[in-house]
A and B are shown apart, each in its own frame.
Chain A
Amino acid sequence: MITTKLNRRSFVIGSTAVGAGLALGLKIPFGASVVRAQDGSPEVTAWVVIRPDDTVVIRIARSEMGQGTLTGLAQMVAEELECDWSKVKTEYPTPGQSVKRKRAWGDFSTGGSRGIRDSHQYVREGGAAARMMLIQAAATTWSVPVTECSAANSVITHKPSGRTVTYGKVAEAAAKLTPPEKPALKDPKDWKLIGKSVKRLDTMDKLNGAHVYGADLKLPGMLNAAIKDCPVFGGKVKSYEAAKVASMPGVKQVVPVGDSAVAVVAETWWQAKTALDQLPIVWDEGPNASVSSATIAEMLKEGLDADQAFVGNRNGDVKAAIASAAKKIEAVYAYPFQNHAPMEPMNATAKYTPERCEVWVPTQNGEAAFAATLAASGLPADKCEVYKLNLGGGFGRRGAFHDYVTQAVLIAKQMPGTPVKLLWTREEDMLHGRYHPVMQCKLVGAFDASNNLTALHMRLSGQSILTAVRPEALQDGKDPATFQGLNPSGEFAFGYSVPNLLIDHAMRNTHVPPGFWRGVNINQNAIFVECFMDEMAHAVGQDPLEFRRKLMTKHPKHLAVLNAVADRAGWGKPAPKGVYRGLAQMMSFNSYVAACAEISVTDGTKVKIQRIVAATDPGYAVNPAQIDRQIAGSFVYGLSGVFLQECTVKDGHIEQTNFNNYDSMRIAQMPKVESILMPSGGFWGGVGEPTICVAAPAVLNAYFAATGKRIRTYPLKNHGITLV
């Protein structure tokens, strides 16, 4: 995709070099060489390649997995580039090129709803710098002052003479210029493309079968692999009888993969899978084979009253305030393990020789996939490359974890020169997730004689994701990510002022590997906080909205989204007959989100969600139509989770095997979602994840309003409650 003529362009981003004075014109450095895309077109900046036919190719480092970041990031570059949007195409730079070019495209990681909010500055600068270089190149050609030239829609105009030239004609000359170091960016009020609901750039191929996902890759001479890893986490392969399947149709080889897995490699995947099903394997399940959901729950329960806990948020003296309270209430909640279950099961294709290892993979983080490739192949960075393919969903499973890449490389190493595509079965995917962590929470609320909330203690007990995944990010043992939505400040700030507050975490880790499940820890934290807010309001006979408002006077942005959904839904006015409402709000991934659910309940158990009103303040809204879709989709992900999904543990392994016992919402259960997008400006919030966390508590609070029953353990199917 990109040639190796790197040199000067590696400092486009984050350079400390002083750029040429732009008003005076850019200098043409002596002997400058042009960096070229694979088709020979000049690269103006690392982010922008312009072809002679005026096609603009915008580089996208983050991964598109449905959330729309590819189109949104292209809009941001194009806004500053002043190019013709109809001529924009995109491409992914490879992680290997990123390493060679000292991360010219910044971070590849696509998680934490960071695609746009963490790269908006430098991608816009990449577009702005390219525009300035193109204008300069035209001015130089015309021998006119650059200040007399301007650009719009991929055309540069010299105002005094009326001369024009298109970007494609001057791109070659522009690519020889030194990029300006810190180009000025437009004032948001001047945006023409950012903020517009332009259509996605990647839709057509998803309608005709042409979009190539990782599972669809075809390479010459490629073989296919199916794999079984020890069902009990931490277990190993004791033995297997390869001879029993070696002569089955298509089978090429049966190979060990690390010490815990075995794979069958065959001509087709179906042959590999068929043989693997027949392969006798004896597992050494190890010390975790006696763990069950019950033993894990018992361990977490102990943490609810343990003396030691990591403090996430504290003010005042909770203990004293609770001791002297006129009234107090207490509740315990529990949230289960859940699997990401993206529609496309895990897969990766690898080709290995002692000189080179290449991997093709749908990944949320090309650089992490690259690191896994290096580690598994044992080869240095200059002998490895990763090619990112389209993802059939990610949701956090394909970001921090590249176990399937490691496996594919370990298989390919045993068949040098032959590309091997490893595809997991859905069953393997269910058994070997990186699960939403289990968490219990005990909450105590205390009131004075006038029913004012005087203290809140929230004790979390459960798994730490960072301990398992990124231990270097722990703070003296504390996992700060556990407190998403509960922090005193920052991008996950708690939206209530309570005179005496303590939120702490008794870390209780299990052998079940935790991961970042779309929304991560704020999903359960929002249920704990927002359902308990509802409980406390009812305990003192107050309206849940009014009760919250009193605690939110110092949190205007939290309050604004809550008020917006209450107003739109008609909170305080009579609901249609048989319809009940529930509220929730949080600050999530630097955005403010709230929801009001309207539900009806038949026979106490059949829940019909009639309507959802959801508000989001993400600071700036790059593509409102895509944000609307992320909000609506968040209710599918979040409500599937709270109604239907739980991974239980028996004999050390996950019991659920497929969508027949780990279900997901269908269209019949989909409520009408009305989104309110209310960007207030001045900050950049995420979009892909934030709303999920308010889906469950809004519906749970509406369920209480409808039935008087407070459900505190999930999923709801365990209580005989169904979504109809």
Chain B
Amino acid sequence: MARMTINGKTVDLNVDPSTPLLWAIREQAGLTGTKYGCGIAQCGACTVHLEGAAIRSCVMPVAAAEGKKITTIEGLANGSTLHKVQKAWLDAQVPQCGYCQSGLIMAVAALLREKPKPTNADIDAKITNICRCGTFQQVREAIHAAAKA
């Protein structure tokens, strides 16, 4: 059993402590917006916030999140008000298939918290998610738009 706060709600996840946080989020908490892409922290599709910082949840055991605050893509918006990254994504029409976008959006939201006006070099260094559809041109445009919002 692991107790943590996910998207503002305290949850008790009945799961082996070695289970990756990703799978506890998807299968115990039932929040499937966070995606499985590789399982080895390469692609970033599983990115969530742990105490506000972006982490790749596929390689973090759920035990390491015990007592911590987790935010997933489902909890990023403030009720019906989109987070500025989501808004910028909507305006720039970023997603193609969309599968990697939860992780990308979470990674970018964390970047903007750390660096509200990121340079292209900051983006290149911090945003390392894989997108096979190739949305990067719109991703960069939307990050700069969100930074101005």
Contacts and interface: CB of A to CB of B under 8 A. Distances in A.
A342 B132 contact: yes
Interface residues of B, number: 57
Interface string A128-166: 000000000000000000000000000000000000000
A209 B42 contact: no
A191 interface: no
A210 B33 contact: yes
A426 B58 CA distance: 12
Interface string B48-66: 0000000000000000000
Interface in B13-52: 16, 19-20, 23, 26-28, 30-40, 42-43, 45
A344 B96 contact: no
Nearest to B62: A270
Contacts of B96: 66-68, 629, 633
Interface of A: 65-68, 199-200, 202-213, 215-216, 218, 224, 249, 268-270, 341-345, 390-395, 423, 425-426, 625, 629, 632-637, 640, 658-660, 664-668, 670, 672-673
A66 B97 contact: yes
A393 B97 CA distance: 6
Contacts of A202: 98
A207 B35 contact: no
Given A270-B23, A667-B123, A668-B125, A344 B135 contact: no
A504 B93 CA distance: 44
B76 to A, nearest CB: 7
Contact of B93 (A199, A423, A426): A199
Contacts of B128: 666-668
B77 A208 contact: yes
Contact of A208 (B26, B35, B74): B74
A632 B133 CA distance: 9
B51 to A, nearest CB: 20
A208 B32 CA distance: 10
Contact of B139 (A203, A270, A667): A667
A66 B99 CA distance: 9
Contacts of A666: 124, 127-130, 136
B138 interface: yes
A16 to B, nearest CB: 39
A660 B137 contact: no
> For A204, A640, A667, which residue has the most chain B Cβ atoms within 10 angstroms?
A667
Given A200-B93, A209-B34, 19 more contacts: A66-B133, A203-B95, A204-B90, A209-B31, A209-B72, A210-B33, A216-B32, A268-B27, A343-B132, A344-B35, A393-B132, A632-B138, A636-B132, A636-B133, A636-B134, A640-B132, A659-B40, A664-B130, A665-B134
Given A658-B38, A658-B39, A343 B100 contact: yes
Contacts of B132: 341-343, 393, 395, 636-637, 640, 664
Nearest to B87: A207
B130 A629 contact: no
Nearest to B135: A633
Given A343-B43, A658-B38, A668-B124, A270 B134 contact: no
B135 A209 contact: no
Contact of A667 (B98, B101, B140): B140
A495 B131 CA distance: 32
A470 to B, nearest CB: 25
B38 A659 contact: yes
Nearest to B123: A667
Contacts of B125: 668
B105 interface: yes
Contact of A343 (B23, B35, B40, B139): B35
Contacts of A665: 134, 136
Contact of B136 (A199, A208, A270, A636): A636
B36 A215 contact: yes
A341 B30 CA distance: 26
Contacts of A200: 93, 95
Contact of A218 (B19, B23, B30): B30
A662 to B, nearest CB: 10
Given A426-B38, A666-B128, A668-B124, A268 B98 contact: no
A627 to B, nearest CB: 12
B101 A426 contact: no
A206 B31 contact: no
Contacts of A629: 93, 96, 135, 137-138
Contacts of B98: 66, 202-203, 205-206, 211, 390, 392
A341 B45 CA distance: 14
B25 to A, nearest CB: 10
Contacts of B102: 209
A696 to B, nearest CB: 14
Given A67-B96, A345-B36, A207 B27 contact: no
Contacts of B129: 666-667
Contacts of B72: 209
10 contacts: A203-B89, A209-B33, A212-B32, A343-B35, A345-B36, A392-B98, A426-B37, A659-B40, A660-B40, A668-B123
Nearest to B104: A667
A633 to B, nearest CB: 3
A572 B25 CA distance: 56
A213 B33 CA distance: 9
Contacts of A664: 130, 132
A218 B26 CA distance: 11
A632 B27 CA distance: 35
Nearest to A638: B134
B99 A343 contact: yes
B124 to A, nearest CB: 3
A394 B96 CA distance: 11
A157 to B, nearest CB: 33
Nearest to B86: A207
Contact of A633 (B26, B37, B101, B134): B134
